[in-house]
Amino acid sequence: MERWHLIAGLILVYLAVTLGIGLAAGRRASRSVTGYVAGDRRFGLLVMYFVTGATVFSAFAFLGGPGWAYSRGAAAFYILSYGALGIAPWYFIGPRTAALGRRFGYVTQAQLLVGRFPSRFLSALMAALSVAAFVPYITLQMRGAGIVIEAVTDGHVPLAAGAAIAYGIVALYVLASGVAAVGWTNTFQGIFMVAIAWSLGIYLPFRLYGGVGEMFGRILAERPEMLSVPGLTAAGDPWSWGGYSSAILVSAIGLMMWPHLFMKAFTARDDRTLRRTVVLFPTFQLFLIPVFLIGFAGVLLPDSPTDADFILPFLILRSELPVLVVGLFCAGALSASMSTGDALLHAAASVTVEDGVGPFRRLSDAAQRRLMRILVLVVGVVAYWFALDEDSSLVVLLLSAYGIICQFAPPICAALFWRRATTPGIVAGLVAGSATAVFFFTTGYLGMELRPLDLHEGVLGLMVHIPVLVGVSLATRPQDRNHTDAFLNPRGSPETGESGGGTPGSERIAPDTQRG
């Protein structure tokens, strides 16, 4: 039996264990849409901690993070910065969101927005933008899984087959168990990938240089530009401070605006669980330290992988580690990929049905669950097709998706904190900001660099979005005070939510009555 056969066998064992956990988790959840989408709002601190941390740190962190440290040096530190900053606002936004979810039955981000700003168009727009951002993010996860499996099997299992096998397993347990499977598999995968990352992050510098300090001493002497903030661009030139700082800013703003993370507020058992998760989340950032050490360990090697994102498996194979260790490494990398991919597939299907279809056509619980399962497969197939593009960088894929997602922050903040915001203002701002971000991304992709100061297209979108939202809101008729009180005081009595056609919750139940 060849070495790659044993490694492939270990990978299959890991996938089988993950599938078993995912299928078992669904037995405790109800068969309702709330059970499938929000886990019956029962997630405790352990699951919330890992479902947040493992979902954030995906294939881009386990593979793209080392890839950037290896090829762009200090530029990779932006990942550490935005993770610590992005979770902080959730200490205040999370409990308010959860309270509105419990009060009015919301299970998605758009339902909360449409409850405050009634508009079927807004609901459909949120669904469309969410799915547009989900596809490159899911593509990133699939590509990461395929990269690892192809590398450790010496190419006998190509990227296309590896991604298909790993995400076939993900699709099975998401189809069967919904968010309950996502929560418990993420807990298992989070523990696993942190253990593997720290083991490799300490071992490889000692194996190749004699220690972490010795490694950085040699890099400082031979490649000092790799340790100078803000690091390098993909072409090897110094990255501008505008590009570096705006990458941090757009990622920090967008972090908890991702629908699959935002929706986790609706799954929490209580406010204390949410706030403890926010306080503890920065400890999950420790996962990035060994990840960066792995990437820096490859900087001075005479040989190089065909792609910077391959540096981690390249080092593993070069170090001639035992088969068991290589198999465990592969399982850890798959944990990083799958723990985010499952949440993304589940959220993409849930958002499309709840926000893209629900406001226009009333469906039974059974019909909604059936349509969500179909969409899990459809979105998975589309992302898989893009994952076969060999020219895509894992980190660049993620940064491009953030350009759209950070546009959700102004309307969410307005819904929860600004009484004077109106439906026309929210819609106009979201359209203007998203269009601006897409324009600058498209022109950059085509080689026409039009971004001033090298700012991220998402930041440029926000610079248009916020003035439009404020200006149009102030120029249009304010909302009824009782209606806005239900959102600015989410723990008040249900009667304060009355506004003409009923409470904000009624707009979710009877979407045909919504305006717009």
pLDDT one-digit tens code per residue, 114-130:
999 999 999 999 999 98
- If one counts the domains in the chain, the total is 1
Residue 331 has pLDDT above 70, yes or no: yes
Q: Please check whether residue 336 lies inside any domain of the structure.
A: yes
Tell me, yes or no, whether 454 lies in a domain.
no
Q: Is residue 78 part of a domain?
A: yes
pLDDT band at 345 (very low <50, low <70, confident <90, very high): confident
Q: Which pLDDT score is estimated for 472?
A: 97
Residue 368, pLDDT score: 84
Region 461-478: mean pLDDT is 97
pTM of the model: 0.78
Give the model's pLDDT for residue 336. Answer: 74
CB burial of 221-237 (b: ≥16 within 10 Å; e: otherwise) equals eeeeebeeebbbbeeee
Cα(332)–Cα(510) distance, rounded to whole angstroms?
Answer: 45
How many other C-beta atoms are found inside a 10 Å radius of the C-beta of residue 461? 27
Write down the pLDDT at residue 73.
93
Handedness of CA 249, 253, 255, 260 (dihedral sign): negative
Q: Looking up tokens 């950059």, which residue turns up?
A: 444
More confident residue, 397 or 450: 450
pLDDT band for position 505 (50/70/90)? very low
Is 478 part of a structural domain of the chain?
A: no
Within-domain flag for 476:
no
Chain position carrying tokens 């469906």:
363
Which neighbouring-strand residues pair with 238? 232
Flag whether 148 is in a domain.
yes
Q: Which of 5-14, 83-92, 107-116, 280-289 has the lowest mean pLDDT?
A: 280-289
Q: Tell me, yes or no, whether 465 lies in a domain.
A: no
| Alpha-carbon 402 to chain mean position | 9
Helix, coil or strand: residue 275: helix
What is the DSSP annotation of 310-332? Answer: GHHHHHHHHTT--HHHHHHHHHH
- Structural domain that includes position 319: 3-297+307-388
Report how far residue 262's alpha carbon sits from residue 205's, in angstroms, rounded to the nearest whole number. 37
pLDDT tens-place string over residues 160-210: 898 898 888 888 878 777 777 777 777 887 788 788 888 888 989 998 999
- CATH number of the domain where residue 88 is located: 1.20.1730.10
Which residue in 78, 85, 110 sits closest to 408, CA to CA?
A: 110
Residue 39 lies in a domain: yes
Q: What is the mean pLDDT of residues 405-431?
A: 96
